[in-house]
């Protein structure tokens, strides 16, 4: 009866009893952060583990589709929170991999506060200083070119940053920077890295997008550098648990896990 009552009041996920600890390892790795979902309670049944989270008010993917695209002021406020969550995960040795708009949900009815809602697909690094990964567990529209180019290993943090660039572009423009219903054509576009920036975007927004969506993963901004970019920063501001100041002045992958491909595309 207690489990049923909880299901009616909170968001929840169900895992096999013998797998829930492994599935939830990233949550315990990142500990508490205002822009990342935390587990409120776990109830163990005979064979299932019921994991409860705080309720939310819809996801960012649906919100952007509804509004077509966001104005830069609103996009800036939300993207700060997104990058803050990613930075905290990276600092804790967690690579998110399947990063996309749908992963972020609103904490309040006003839809001004976001949190990263799902860490089940995240990878906890054995050595925080070595983020080299070899798996290809990414959403097609958000996958980085180095993964498609057949590299044996790649930087998980840099690949996450590419996904962040795709998210920011989609929030500001209302469509993916690389789009095609045919996976092989989509992947070809991503490999070439050619996308257009609408003239309506501000110079600083264009600069940030170009600094994240770089073909060379070694040249992409890190999450911390992203937070310090002039488009996101205004003097000093609080982001998560870190206060930063502006330090800048100026498809076919055989072993890729493809999930929600059709449902995750913008028209």
Positions marked catalytic: 98
What is the rounded distance in angstroms from the CA atom of residue 68 to the CA atom of residue 263? 16
């Amino acid at each position: 009866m207690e489990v049923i009552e909880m299901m009616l009041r909170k968001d929840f996920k169900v895992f096999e009893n013998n797998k829930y600890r492994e599935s939830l390892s990233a949550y315990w790795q990142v500990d508490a952060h205002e822009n990342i979902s935390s587990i409120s309670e776990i109830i163990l049944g005979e064979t299932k583990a019921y994991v409860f989270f705080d309720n939310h008010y819809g996801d960012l993917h649906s919100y952007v589709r509804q509004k077509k695209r966001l104005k830069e002021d609103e996009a800036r406020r939300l993207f700060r929170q997104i990058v803050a969550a990613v930075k905290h995960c990276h600092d804790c040795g967690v690579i998110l991999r399947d990063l996309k708009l749908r992963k972020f949900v609103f904490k309040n009815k006003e839809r001004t506060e976001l949190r990263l809602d799902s860490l089940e697909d995240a990878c906890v690094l054995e050595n925080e200083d070595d983020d080299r990964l070899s798996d290809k567990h990414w959403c097609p529209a958000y996958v980085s070119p180095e993964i498609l180019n057949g590299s044996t290993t790649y930087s998980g943090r840099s690949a996450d940053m590419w996904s962040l660039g795709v998210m920011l572009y989609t929030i500001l423009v209302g469509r993916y920077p690389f789009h095609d219903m045919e996976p092989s054509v989509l992947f070809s576009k991503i490999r070439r890295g050619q996308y257009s920036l609408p003239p309506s975007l501000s110079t600083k927004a264009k600069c940030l997008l170009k600094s994240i969506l770089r073909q060379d993963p070694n040249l992409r901004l890190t999450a911390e550098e992203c937070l310090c970019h002039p488009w996101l920063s205004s003097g000093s501001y609080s982001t998560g648990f870190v206060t930063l100041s502006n330090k800048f002045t100026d498809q076919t992958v055989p072993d890729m896990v493809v999930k929600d491909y059709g449902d995750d595309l913008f028209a």
